[in-house]
Amino acid sequence: MNARWRTYCIVPLAVMAAGPVAGWAAQYLALEEAQKLCFPGADAFVPSDITLTREQMRAVKKDSGVRARTGTQKLWRAMRGQEFLGWFIKDEVLGKHELITWALALGPDGAVRRIEILDYRETYGYEVRGAQWRAQFYGKKHGAALKLDRDIKNIGGATLSCRHITDGVKRLLSFYELFLK
């Protein structure tokens, strides 16, 4: 290999070496931490997973317009003694390359109480963790439009994540309406 070829190969070889080494993945919250943030007054989270049939999944899709990724929905009843505080639902939506793990907290009336991002593994778009963006959903109930650039503001450079989390909220509000209410 002559000098000119060696010089030319430096950049691509550096990229190949640097690419797989650098990492953006982050676990922001463990499950228990997210549960405490959503329901600080709760003293127990009772596992209440529901496995949907294909028919039920189709009903969620029909109601929300969003396809359910898996049949089993991980959820917990947040309790303080005998008092029911609300639902804590753990979910995943598609990110650009991997899955975004997030959680939705619903009050006893089915209104969104809080959203938390547990794992985010994408290069861009981590701004969806911002309190201000997540606060747009608080108080929303089944039937809300939940459309980017309509009742939910988009974050430039994080459009895909914003869209899929917004769709996720819409799907879980339909799930609540059909199977938890």
Q: List interacting residues with other proteins (CB under 8 A).
A: 4-5, 8, 11-12, 15-16, 18-20, 22-25, 66-67, 94, 96-99, 121, 123-125, 148-149, 154, 156-160, 163-164, 167
Question: What is the nearest approach in angstroms of other proteins to the Cβ of residue 22?
Answer: 5
Name which of 87 and 175 has its Cβ closer to other proteins: 175
Question: What is the nearest approach in angstroms of other proteins to the Cβ of residue 8?
Answer: 7
Degrees (nearest 5) of the Cα angle 22, 27, 158?
Answer: 75
Name which of 22 and 131 has its Cβ closer to other proteins: 22
DSSP 44-89: EEEE--EE--HHHHHHHHHHHSS--S-SEEEEEEEEETTEEEEEEE
Question: What is the nearest approach in angstroms of other proteins to the Cβ of residue 126?
Answer: 11
With 0-12 CB in 10 A as exposed, 13-18 as middle and 19+ as buried, what is 159? middle
Beta bridge partners of 112: 106
Question: What is the nearest approach in angstroms of other proteins to the Cβ of residue 94?
Answer: 6
Name which of 3 and 131 has its Cβ closer to other proteins: 3
How do strand 99-106 and strand 112-120 relate by DSSP bridges?
Answer: antiparallel
